[in-house]
């Protein structure tokens, strides 16, 4: 066996004169005792693009190529919901930036509403806590939430999902190969899905090339002005952090921007379009008996019971934000222009709102610049979209294949 230590002592480039040098090389190397063949160490299959930090993962779950592939299959497998219709990938849709563009709040098993907007799972491997309220920390365990939630995939128990996986012939051997002989279990299902999610990196956006790739021309003059507003007058980078060598656009902390508080307020009057040419204003008293009740949601308070956490939600990443409408935990803002207006006014003006959200007095031009900057954050992840769509077993007849 040729040891690397030995080869590095060769003068010049050994590859050039490989044929001639081979005999000499073997002779030289024969002094070095050959190391006994070892099982290859497990290697992370995740290559991180420009603008992102190294992908962290727990020591016990190296995201190998086999685990990522198995996790992808599980993520898009509709058979793993109780009635065989719902997969993770139907709310985290690949060609919707791994969220659902058409729904403010997700719809799960048999039409049941989930009370929040589905966040993107692109770059989710970097999050230090999960969900809008941070109620979970580990991707390894998180998947069991939607697998078992009544309004998501509605499985009666972990055992039910594991038994189903044991009975599905197309999984034959995949778990065992990915996990050194271990078959489907609560742990291995969670580990495979976590590995797939960690592989969903998206970077090398035009912003990354500008900021980290030394390509000053990657952003237009307007987009560069927008970045100046983002990190200066607009104060956005206080929470949506941009580092010196990489950026996740989140501090992963929790703030009350006022959005949740506003949602809990009863509307004073509601504009109702009755026919295409006739609309009217109805009062709260008139609307209540015929409307759906707004699901109660007090954010992080539900986890900590600390009154300071009322209506506080996790700062989301802004990578790919142009792809992940609608916005905020309840999907209540439809466009980036609306989001910028919201911040310019100083948030919703809730009594206990974060003191970091204040009126900004941006000019119309500064607002337009800011929006144009946010649109430069789309990263490269075409491979993830293609592989996801190929994996999904359901193809609709609609305009997009999902
Ligand atoms: C019915 C739609 C739906 C399905 C099905 C679904 N999710 Fe989600 N997902 C959501 C919503 C909504 C949230 C946010 C919930 C909250 O914050 O309370 C979420 C949050 C997440 C998060 C946290 C992201 C973050 O930014 O913190 C991850 C990770 C995730 N889902 C993975 C999965 C996996 C894995 C599956 C399949 C086992 C799955 N989801 C199935 C709608 C869905
Ligand atoms: C005090 C911290 C803070 C500041 C300052 C801040 N944000 Fe946010 N941002 C948040 C939080 C928290 C949310 C999530 C709110 C929710 O889910 O209800 C959010 C959500 C967003 C979203 C929606 C993302 C999505 O996927 O739903 C966008 C876009 C956004 N912010 C852009 C900005 C811009 C632009 C600025 C500057 C004008 C800014 N933010 C300033 C904390 C902040």
What pLDDT, on the 0 to 100 scale, is given for residue 8? 37
What pLDDT, on the 0 to 100 scale, is given for residue 38? 58
What pLDDT, on the 0 to 100 scale, is given for residue 30? 45
What pLDDT, on the 0 to 100 scale, is given for residue 13? 43
- Whether the link from the prior residue into 344 is cis, omega within 30° of 0, is no
Average pLDDT in the 367-395 region?
A: 89
Phi, psi (deg, nearest 5) at residue 286: -75, -30
Which numbered atom of ligand 2 lies nearest the CA of 336? Answer: 29
Which numbered atom of ligand 1 lies nearest the CA of 139? Answer: 29
pLDDT grade, residue 284 (50/70/90)? low
Nearest Cα residue to 166 out of 153, 147, 183: 183
**Torsion sign across C-alpha atoms 240, 233, 224, 320:** positive
Average pLDDT in the 212-221 region?
A: 97
What pLDDT, on the 0 to 100 scale, is given for residue 291? 55
The residue with tokens 């003068």 is 11
More confident site: 252 or 5: 252
Q: What is the Rg, in whole angstroms, of the alpha carbon atoms belonging to the chain?
A: 25
- Gap between the Cα atoms of 402 and 71, Å rounded: 19
Query: How would you classify residue 359: left for phi > 0, otherwise alpha for psi between -120 and 50, otherwise beta?
Result: beta
Phi, psi (deg, nearest 5) at residue 174: -65, -45
Ligand nearest to the CA of 314: 2
Give the number of other CB atoms < 10 A from CB of residue 106: 21
Average pLDDT in the 51-63 region?
A: 96
Residues 6+ apart with CB under 8 A from 122: 97, 98, 200, 201, 202, 319, 320, 379, 381, 384
Nearest Cα residue to 106 out of 160, 155, 153: 153
- Gap between the Cα atoms of 140 and 296, Å rounded: 28
Which residue among 118, 127, 225, 239 has the greatest number of ligand 2 atoms within 8 angstroms of its CB, and so is best to mutate?
A: 239
pLDDT digits (tens, 9 = 90+) for 333-369: 999 999 999 999 999 888 889 999 999 999 999 999 9
What pLDDT, on the 0 to 100 scale, is given for residue 349? 85
Report residues whose beta carbon is within 6 angstroms of any ligand 2 atom: 132, 234-236, 238-240, 255, 257, 259-260, 313, 315-316, 318, 321, 324, 327-329, 336, 339-340, 343, 354, 356-357, 370
What pLDDT, on the 0 to 100 scale, is given for residue 262? 74
Average pLDDT value over all residues in the chain: 84
Residues 6+ apart with CB under 8 A from 222: 368, 369, 372
- Gap between the Cα atoms of 7 and 188, Å rounded: 40
- Gap between the Cα atoms of 393 and 261, Å rounded: 40
What pLDDT, on the 0 to 100 scale, is given for residue 283? 65
In the chain, the domains with their CATH numbers are 1-38 (no CATH), 65-203+381-391 (1.10.760.10), 233-260+293-363 (1.10.760.10)
pLDDT grade, residue 265 (50/70/90)? low
Pick from 194-203, 217-226, 328-337, 372-381: least confident: 328-337
What is the whole-number distance in angstroms between the Cα of residue 118 and the centre of ligand 1?
6
Which residue among 133, 255, 358, 370 has the greatest number of ligand 2 atoms within 8 angstroms of its CB, and so is best to mutate?
A: 255
Average pLDDT in the 188-201 region?
A: 98
pLDDT digits (tens, 9 = 90+) for 24-50: 444 444 444 445 555 567 899 999 999
pLDDT grade, residue 388 (50/70/90)? very high
Q: What percent of the chain has pLDDT over 70?
A: 81
Q: Give me the helix-helix angle, 65-75 and 186-199, nearest 10°.
A: 100
What pLDDT, on the 0 to 100 scale, is given for residue 286? 67
pLDDT digits (tens, 9 = 90+) for 82-133: 888 899 999 999 999 999 887 888 777 777 777 788 999 999 999 999 999 9
- The CA-CA-CA angle for residues 197, 198, 204, to 5°, reads 110
Strand partners, 271: 281
């Amino acid at each position: 066996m040729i040891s690397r230590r030995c080869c590095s002592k060769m003068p010049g480039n050994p590859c050039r004169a490989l044929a001639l040098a081979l005999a000499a090389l073997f002779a030289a190397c024969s002094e070095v005792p050959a190391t006994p063949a070892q099982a290859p160490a497990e290697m992370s299959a995740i290559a991180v693009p420009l603008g992102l930090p190294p992908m962290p993962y727990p020591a016990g779950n190296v995201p190998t190529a086999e685990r990522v592939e198995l996790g992808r299959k599980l993520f898009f497998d509709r058979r793993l919901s109780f009635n065989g219709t719902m997969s993770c990938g139907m709310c985290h849709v690949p060609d919707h930036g791994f969220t659902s563009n058409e729904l403010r709040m997700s719809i799960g098993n048999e039409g049941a509403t989930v009370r929040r907007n589905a966040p993107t799972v692109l770059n989710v491997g970097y999050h230090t806590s999960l969900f809008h309220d941070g109620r979970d920390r580990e991707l390894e365990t998180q998947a069991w939430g939607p697998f078992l939630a009544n309004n998501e995939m509605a499985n009666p128990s972990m055992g039910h999902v594991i038994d189903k996986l044991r009975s599905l012939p197309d999984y034959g051997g995949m778990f065992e190969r990915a996990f050194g002989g271990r078959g489907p279990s609560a742990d291995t299902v969670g580990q495979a899905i976590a590995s797939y999610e960690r592989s969903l990196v998206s970077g090398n956006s035009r912003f990354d090339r500008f900021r980290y790739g030394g390509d000053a021309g990657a952003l237009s003059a307007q987009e560069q002005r927008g970045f100046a507003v983002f990190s200066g007058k607009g104060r956005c980078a206080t929470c949506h952090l941009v580092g010196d060598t990489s950026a996740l656009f989140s501090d992963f902390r929790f703030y009350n921007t006022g959005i949740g508080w506003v949602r809990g307020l009863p509307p004073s009057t509601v504009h109702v379009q009755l026919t295409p040419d006739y609309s009217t204003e109805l009062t709260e008293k008139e609307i209540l008996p015929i409307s759906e009740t707004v699901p109660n949601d007090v954010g992080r308070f539900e986890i900590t019971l600390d009154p300071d956490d009322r209506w506080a939600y996790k700062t989301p990443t802004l990578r790919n934000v142009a792809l992940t409408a609608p916005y905020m935990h309840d999907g209540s803002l439809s466009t980036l222009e609306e989001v910028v207006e919201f911040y310019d006014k100083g948030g919703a003006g809730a009594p206990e709102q974060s003191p970091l959200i204040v009126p900004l007095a941006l000019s119309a031009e500064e607002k337009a610049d800011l929006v144009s900057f946010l649109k430069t954050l789309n990263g490269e992840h075409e491979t993830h979209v293609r592989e996801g769509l190929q994996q999904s077993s359901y193809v609709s007849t609609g305009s997009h294949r999902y």
